[in-house]
């Protein structure tokens, strides 16, 4: 099997699975219980929080464990909107955000908030000046993803964050879900107030993740009913998930430190091979993009048909983001980039992990040519 859909989800590291199993076998007590076993479980969570904070170079008190990226994004946006609604009701984001941001903004719009969706350029990047020009007296939040999940374009979040330091009443949220471990980002240097991370994008488990909340910043909780996560996220902690998330983050950073250049070379190798195939248009920018994502179109072949055809070769890729692929609607990101309308429903996304190889890329490109030839012959026969 060739798995090139790592932006949708990654295969968990064996060590992560082993950790999850051991914690749930030996440390299954409720960490809020006052007995000794509960205390040992609470200690495990504390150690995990300390490890995550150390890896991200933030404070332990700034780590809030969640069920993943969607919850973290919802908590960041809704928690900010509810807490600061008396200060203002204007939120700024972009047209290429993940559905968990776009749909949250649309829900907030129904509650009386005003949303500004900023455009992007042909490379899929928002302009810093556009962010600043959109600011108003009632702006309370700017939410910009770090790495676009469809084409891999890197947003200038560091420059945006530094510019927003002149507007202390505006809170800055970054969706770092696709960037973590692939594109370096210092939360403090970039002036980030809130930052979302998902466990299953870094070879952790689904249902795990975190939200960074800068020390001193207050937001309203979405889940109430307990003291967990300092009242920001009530509910009995998923101890096995939390401990395995910390391990996945450590292992992912270790891999990144050793093999990130390898992923860059693999990306360049794929792009070179694709450029040799007739009818291929690459949408991911050649510069200013994350190393693990390549988005392209095969002329006159719908992305959905192409994805299923590749399954015959035991190769797995995707079209748009996994959260949007079943809706059968044109990519919002490609539309925002001004991609030709004829290519909007033909795009395919390849997303690497550190486990992928050049041999897999060769097999993939060979399969592309075979699928392309077969579909073209089928089309001619039908005519």
Which positions are annotated as active-site residues? 323
Q: Which of left, alpha, beta for 35 (phi over 0: left; psi -120 to 50: alpha)?
A: beta
How distant, in Å, are the alpha carbons of 282, 302, 305, 327, 351 from that of 361? Answer: 15, 21, 20, 28, 11
Q: Which residues pair with 5 in a beta bridge?
A: 351
Do 239 and 45 form a contact (C-beta atoms < 8 A)?
Answer: yes
Q: Which of left, alpha, beta for 216 (phi over 0: left; psi -120 to 50: alpha)?
A: left
DSSP letters, 212-254, are EE-TT-----SB-SS-GGGGTB-S---HHHHHHHHHHHHHHHH
Q: Are strands 293-298 and 280-282 parallel, antiparallel or unpaired?
A: antiparallel
Give the count of beta carbons closer than 10 Å to the beta carbon of residue 326: 10
Contacts by residues 26-35 (CB-CB < 8 Å, ≥ 24 positions apart): 27/239, 27/240, 28/239, 30/236, 31/236, 31/237, 31/239, 32/226, 32/227, 32/228, 32/236
Q: From 285, 269, 291, select the one nearest 354 (Cα to Cα).
A: 291
Q: Which of left, alpha, beta for 124 (phi over 0: left; psi -120 to 50: alpha)?
A: left
Do 144 and 119 form a contact (C-beta atoms < 8 A)?
Answer: no
Q: From 60, 83, 67, select the one nearest 235 (Cα to Cα).
A: 67
Cα separation of 93 and 116, whole Å?
Answer: 6
Q: Which residues pair with 282 in a beta bridge?
A: 296
Cα separation of 358 and 364, whole Å?
Answer: 10
């Amino acid at each position: 099997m060739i798995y090139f859909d790592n932006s949708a989800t990654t295969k968990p590291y064996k060590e992560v699975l082993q950790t999850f199993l051991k914690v749930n076998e030996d440390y299954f007590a409720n960490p809020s219980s006052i007995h000794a076993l509960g205390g040992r479980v609470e200690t495990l969570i504390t150690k995990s929080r300390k490890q995550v904070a150390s890896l991200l170079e933030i404070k332990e008190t700034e780590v809030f464990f969640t069920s993943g990226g969607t919850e973290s994004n919802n908590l960041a946006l809704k928690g900010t909107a509810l807490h600061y609604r008396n200060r203002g009701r204007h939120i700024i984001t972009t047209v290429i955000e993940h559905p968990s941001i776009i749909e949250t903004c649309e829900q907030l719009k129904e509650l009386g908030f005003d949303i500004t969706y900023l455009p992007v350029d042909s490379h899929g990047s928002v302009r810093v000046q556009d962010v600043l020009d959109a600011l108003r007296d009632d702006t309370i939040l700017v939410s910009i993803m770090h790495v676009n999940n469809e084409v891999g374009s890197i947003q200038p979040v560091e420059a945006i964050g530094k510019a927003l330091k002149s507007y202390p009443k505006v809170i800055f949220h970054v969706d770092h879900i696709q960037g973590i471990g692939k594109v370096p980002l210092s939360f403090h240097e970039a002036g980030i107030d809130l930052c979302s991370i998902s466990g299953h994008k870094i070879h952790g488990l689904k249902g795990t993740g975190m939200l960074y909340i800068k020390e001193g910043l207050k937001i309203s909780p979405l889940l109430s009913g307990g003291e967990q996560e300092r009242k920001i996220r009530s509910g009995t902690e998923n101890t096995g998930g939390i401990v395995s998330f910390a391990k996945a983050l450590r292992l992912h950073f270790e891999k990144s430190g050793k093999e990130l250049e390898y992923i860059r070379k693999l990306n360049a190798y794929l792009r070179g091979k694709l450029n040799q195939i007739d009818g291929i248009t690459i949408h991911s920018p050649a510069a200013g993009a994350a190393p693990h994502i390549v988005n392209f179109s095969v002329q006159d072949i719908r992305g959905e048909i192409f994805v299923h055809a590749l399954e015959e070769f035991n190769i797995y890729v995707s079209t748009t983001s996994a959260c949007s692929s079943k809706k059968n609607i044109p990519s919002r990101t490609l539309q925002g980039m001004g991609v030709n309308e004829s290519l909007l429903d033909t795009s395919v996304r390849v997303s690497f992990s550190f486990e992928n190889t050049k041999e897999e890329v060769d097999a993939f490109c060979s399969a592309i040519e075979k699928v392309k030839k077969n579909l073209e012959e089928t089309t001619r026969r039908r005519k």
